[in-house]
C-alpha cells in the first residue's frame, strides 16, 4: 500500500491578509464559512493521502484545536516551530515525523488540485531530488516563471517579472527524503532559494505541468476571489 504522506506548510503569518482575517494564521482564513485548510484537506483525502503532517508556527494552538474537525478520520500529526525556520526548515522539521521515502509537500495557503499519483510516478521514474507541480499561467507578475527542458528538468527559476505566458511553481512538491537529508541543510532556510534554485543547475529538480485550477490566497484580492471560484469549481 502506498503511503501518500503529505506535509502541509501551515505556519504562515498571513500579514497581508490582516485587514481581512485579523490575527489568525492564513490557512484558517474562512472561505464561504469554512477554514481554507478544510478544502485543502478534502482535496488531499480525494487523492488517497494516508497521513498528514502539519508544519505549524504562528497561531499553532488555534490550528491544532481545529485539526480533529478538519481531518476527521484521516491520520495526522504535527510539528510546531518555536521560531520561524523558513519554508525549508519547516519541511525538515516535518520530515522527522514521516515514514515514507518520498513525501509530498503542499502550501497551506494554496489550492491546486493536481493529481498526486501522476506527480509521484513521474518523480520516481526520473529519480529527482525534488519534483515540482507546475501551473501554466498567462499575464502574471506575482510569481517567477520556471524554465523546463523537454524531459521535465527545471533549468531555472526566474525572478518575479511580468510574463505573458509561462509555468510557475504551483507549491506542491515530492521530496526524496534520503537525498534531502544528505544535503546537510541549515536549521533555517528557504526551500526555494537553498534547494530548488541551488540544485536545478545540477539537473536534480524536475517539474511536471498540470492544468488544474490554481489559487494562492496570500493577498486580499485573491482571497476574495476564492469564495466565488470555490463554488464554481465545486469545492464545498
Query: What is the rounded CA–CA span in Å between residue 146 and residue 135?
Result: 10
Confidence band (pLDDT; 50, 70, 90) for 2? low
pTM for this one? 0.96
Confidence (pLDDT) at 4: 86
Domains parsed from the chain with CATH numbers: 5-232 (3.90.550.10)
What is the predicted pLDDT for the residue at 3? 62
Given a cut of 80, whether residue 39 has pLDDT beyond it is: yes
Q: Model confidence at 14, in pLDDT bands (50, 70, 90)?
A: confident
pLDDT confidence bin for 236, thresholds 50/70/90: confident
Task: Dump pLDDT digits (tens) for 139-163.
Answer: 999 999 999 999 999 999 999 999 9
Q: What is the mean pLDDT of residues 108-129?
A: 97
What value does the mean pLDDT take over residues 87-95?
A: 97
Please choose, from the candidates 82, 146, 83, 116, the residue with its C-alpha nearest in 3D space to the C-alpha of residue 7.
116
Query: For the segment 170-209, what is each residue's pLDDT rounded down to a tens digit?
Result: 999 999 999 999 999 999 999 999 999 999 999 999 999 9
Amino acid at each position: 500500500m502506498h503511503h501518500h504522506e503529505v506535509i502541509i506548510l501551515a505556519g504562515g503569518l498571513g500579514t497581508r491578509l490582516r485587514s481581512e482575517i485579523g490575527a489568525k494564521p492564513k490557512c484558517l482564513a474562512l472561505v464561504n464559512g469554512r477554514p481554507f485548510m478544510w478544502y485543502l484537506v478534502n482535496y488531499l483525502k480525494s487523492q488517497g493521502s494516508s497521513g498528514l503532517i502539519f508544519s505549524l508556527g504562528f497561531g499553532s494552538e488555534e490550528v491544532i484545536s481545529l485539526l480533529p474537525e478538519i481531518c476527521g478520520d484521516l491520520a495526522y500529526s504535527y510539528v510546531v516551530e518555536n521560531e520561524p525556520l523558513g519554508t525549508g526548515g519547516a519541511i525538515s522539521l516535518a520530515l522527522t515525523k514521516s515514514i515514507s521515502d518520498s513525501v509530498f509537500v503542499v502550501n497551506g495557503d494554496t489550492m491546486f488540485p493536481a493529481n498526486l499519483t501522476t506527480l509521484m510516478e513521474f518523480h520516481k521514474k526520473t529519480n529527482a531530488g525534488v519534483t515540482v507541480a507546475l501551473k501554466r499561467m498567462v499575464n502574471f507578475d506575482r510569481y517567477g516563471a520556471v524554465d523546463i527542458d523537454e524531459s521535465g528538468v527545471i533549468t531555472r527559476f526566474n525572478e518575479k517579472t511580468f510574463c505573458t505566458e509561462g509555468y510557475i511553481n504551483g507549491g506542491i512538491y515530492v521530496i526524496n527524503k534520503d537525498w534531502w537529508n544528505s544535503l546537510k541543510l541549515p536549521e533555517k532556510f528557504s526551500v526555494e532559494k537553498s534547494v530548488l534554485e541551488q540544485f536545478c543547475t545540477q539537473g536534480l529538480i524536475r517539474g511536471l505541468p498540470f492544468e488544474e485550477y490554481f489559487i494562492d490566497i496570500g493577498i486580499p484580492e485573491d482571497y476574495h476571489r476564492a469564495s466565488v471560484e470555490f463554488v464554481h469549481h465545486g469545492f464545498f
